[in-house]
């Protein structure tokens, strides 16, 4: 009976968001409304039934249909969006030589900001005096540590060369189905080859080239319409995802490790400031910039999925920031699988600094800090080769420094809470790379960036399903 009442309230909240959509409120306003409603509803469930309640678990099982369903729809459109956008962008630019510049700059900026994020993680951890000494290990933490020890063997067996090789699309159809952790990058590379091949056909066989261009243009419009349809569901997905996070959190565990939570978010905040400073250096107004990307960061925060945020990331870069199609797709795709500022930069650095005193290492030793930053930067390039985000980033870094990986299991109870912020910063890093690359290569449309109207919302409303 209680579960039915909870679901009835959830249905009313969805009806409220639908009413907002019918009233033609902007997408940004509806996303933030859903975020607030999710926090309130999740908090109310915790207050009414207590943490770990069976009623909450049963309720969230059905609430998650909306949240997980929405994330699945986003994942559904990732590969088609990347493929048609990159092919279309190459054909329109008609300059295959710019691909190397785009990919090189995007990856370089991602790696540089990851190194800076690692330095921020080291400083914040020392500032807060974080240490793994004295943290109580419960059954969950011990089990997590044993699991990490088991997975360490698969990580150690994967060389840097193997990671690079895994980026190449040996079977593009399997990669379009997302069969590997590196499928996204493989599809990017495959699409680039198709685009360059299409350019060759356009130059050598003009009549066939026109047909190919027309086909790509039609495919782009169909996929973009599909993207707008899915993005119109964002407020409902955010409502469900935020409700699950707040209602499913264990606040006793959070309080026991509050210093690490606070240090993590201070570090994440500093990385965001760094991103804003970097975009300002290429002539972008940081205040206007953060307003335009905030809905994307909000979704990344609630969904905890960098890959799931790719469609919204690309759409915002092109339609709100004025970045070029090719740059937006390259930076969003690379940023979801390598050089992640939060998961691969900040988190492993903080964990290594915490563990260092337990094995007799001074975390303020300059040689240790330089080694740690170097290892983090290199390993962040290959996280996609093993999959698993922050956990595998930590495994690679700790094993490279001969640190006990089992201690990484100490933070399992607060992992979801921190992961929300880390994911948002990962996405912010990819958008920063895309924005800087577009400006440096002269592929940005500043009139789009300066426009105040909510272009995405307008397009989304026009694509509403009857």
SS3 of the chain = CHHHHHHHHHHHHHHHHHHHHHCCCCHHHHHHHHHHHHHHHHHHHHHHHCCCCHHHHHHHHHHHHHHHHHHHHHHHHHHHHHHHHHHHHHHHHCCCCHHHHHHHHHHHHHHHHHHHHHHHHHHHHHHCCCCCCCCCCCHHHHHHHHHHHHHHHHHHCCCHHHHHHCCCCCCHHHHHCCCCCCHHHHHHHHHHHHHHHHHHHHHHCHHHHHHHHHHHHHHHHHHHHHHHHHHCCHHHHHHHHHHHHHHCCCHHHHHHCHHHHHHHHHHHHHHHHHHHHHHHCCCCCHHHHHHHHHHHHHHHHHHCCCCCCHHHHHHHHHHCCCCCHHHHHHHHHHHCCCCCHHHHHHHHHHHHHHHHHHHCCCCCCHHHHHHHHHHHHHHHCCHHHCCCHHHHHHHHHHHHCCCCHHHHHHHHHHHHHHHHHHHHHHHHHHHHHHHHHHHHCCCCCHHHHHCCCCHHHHHHHHCCCC
* pLDDT tens by residue, 280-293: 999 999 999 999 99
Residue in 298, 393, 385 with CA at minimum distance from that of residue 350: 393
Which of 14-28, 191-205, 240-254 is most confident?
191-205
What is the chain's mean pLDDT, rounded? 83
Q: What gap in Å lies between CA 220 and CA 202, rounded to an integer?
A: 18
| Pair of tokens at residue 99 | 């691909």
Whether the predicted pLDDT of 428 surpasses 90: yes
Whether the predicted pLDDT of 66 surpasses 50: yes
Whether the predicted pLDDT of 423 surpasses 50: yes
Q: What gap in Å lies between CA 359 and CA 362, rounded to an integer?
A: 9
Q: What angle do CA 8, 64, 146 make, to 5 degrees?
A: 140
Q: What gap in Å lies between CA 184 and CA 333, rounded to an integer?
A: 6
466 against 46, higher pLDDT: 46
Q: What is the pLDDT of residue 267?
A: 96
Which CATH fold topology does 2-462 show?
A: 1.10.3860
pTM: 0.79
Task: Kindly report the number of other CB atoms within 10 A of residue 217's CB atom.
Answer: 14
Are the beta carbons of 305 and 423 closer than 8 angstroms?
Answer: yes
Put residue 95 in one of left, alpha, beta given phi > 0 → left and psi -120 to 50 → alpha. beta
Task: Return all residues near 193 (Cβ < 8 A) that are at least 6 apart.
Answer: none
Task: Kindly report the number of other CB atoms within 10 A of residue 368's CB atom.
Answer: 17
Task: Return all residues near 168 (Cβ < 8 A) that are at least 6 apart.
Answer: 186, 189
Find how far residue 320's CA is from the centre of its chain.
Answer: 18
Q: What is the pLDDT of residue 304?
A: 80
Residue in 268, 293, 288, 267 with CA at minimum distance from that of residue 430: 293
Confidence of residue 425 (pLDDT cuts 50, 70, 90): very high
Task: Return all residues near 308 (Cβ < 8 A) that are at least 6 apart.
Answer: 71, 74, 75, 78
Residue in 318, 316, 382 with CA at minimum distance from that of residue 28: 316
Find how far residue 319's CA is from the centre of its chain.
Answer: 19
Q: How far apart are the first and last CA of the chain?
A: 34
* pLDDT tens by residue, 119-175: 999 999 999 988 776 554 444 444 444 455 555 455 555 566 777 787 888 898 998
Q: What gap in Å lies between CA 178 and CA 172, rounded to an integer?
A: 10
Task: Return all residues near 244 (Cβ < 8 A) that are at least 6 apart.
Answer: 42, 60, 63, 64, 67
Q: What percent of the chain stands above pLDDT 90?
A: 36
388 against 85, higher pLDDT: 85
Place of tokens 């295959």: 96
| Pair of tokens at residue 42 | 């999740």
Confidence of residue 93 (pLDDT cuts 50, 70, 90): low
């Amino acid at each position: 009976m209680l579960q039915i009442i909870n679901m009835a309230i959830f249905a009313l909240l969805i009806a409220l968001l639908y009413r907002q959509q019918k009233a033609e409120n902007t997408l940004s306003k509806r996303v933030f409304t859903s975020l607030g409603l999710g926090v309130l509803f999740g908090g109310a469930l915790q207050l009414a039934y207590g943490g770990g309640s069976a009623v909450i678990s049963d309720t969230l099982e059905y609430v998650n249909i909306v949240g997980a369903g929405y994330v699945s729809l986003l994942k559904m459109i990732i590969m088609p969006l990347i493929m048609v956008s990159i092919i279309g962008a190459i054909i329109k630019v008609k300059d295959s030589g710019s691909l190397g510049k785009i990919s090189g700059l995007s990856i370089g900026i991602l790696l540089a900001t990851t190194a800076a994020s690692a330095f921020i993680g080291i400083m914040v951890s020392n500032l807060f005096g974080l240490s793994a000494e004295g943290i109580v290990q419960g059954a969950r933490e011990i089990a997590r540590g044993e699991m990490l020890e088991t997975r360490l063997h698969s990580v150690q067996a994967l060389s840097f060369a193997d990671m690079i090789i895994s980026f190449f699309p040996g079977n593009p159809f399997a990669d379009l189905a997302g069969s590997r952790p590196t499928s996204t990058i493989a599809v990017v590379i495959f699409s680039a080859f198709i685009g360059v091949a299409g350019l060759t056909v356009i130059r050598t066989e003009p009549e066939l080239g026109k047909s190919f261009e027309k086909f790509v243009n039609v495919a782009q419009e169909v996929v973009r319409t599909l993207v707008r349809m899915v993005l119109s569901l964002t407020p409902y997905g955010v409502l469900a995802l935020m409700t699950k996070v707040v209602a499913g959190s264990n606040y006793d565990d959070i309080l026991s490790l509050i210093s690490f939570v606070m240090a993590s978010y201070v570090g994440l905040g500093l990385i965001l400031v760094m991103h804003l400073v970097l975009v300002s250096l290429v002539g972008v107004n940081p205040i206007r910039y953060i307003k335009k990307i905030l809905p994307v960061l909000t979704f990344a925060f609630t969904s905890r999925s960098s890959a799931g945020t790719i469609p919204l990331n690309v759409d915002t870069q092109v339609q709100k920031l004025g970045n070029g199609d090719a740059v937006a797709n390259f930076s969003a795709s690379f940023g979801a699988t390598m050089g992640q500022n939060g998961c691969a930069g900040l988190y492993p650095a903080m964990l290594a600094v915490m563990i260092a005193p337990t094995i007799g290492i001074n975390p303020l030793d300059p040689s240790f800090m330089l080694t740690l930053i170097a290892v983090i930067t290199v390993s962040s390039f290959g996280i996609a080769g093993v999959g698993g985000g922050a956990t595998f980033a930590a495994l690679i870094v700790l094993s490279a420094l001969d640190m006990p990986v089992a201690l990484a299991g100490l933070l399992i109870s607060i992992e979801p809470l921190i992961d929300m912020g880390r994911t948002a910063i990962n996405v912010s890093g990819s958008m920063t790379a895309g924005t800087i690359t577009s400006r440096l290569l002269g592929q940005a449309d500043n009139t789009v960036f300066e426009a105040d109207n909510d272009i995405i919302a307008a397009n989304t409303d026009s694509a509403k399903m009857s």
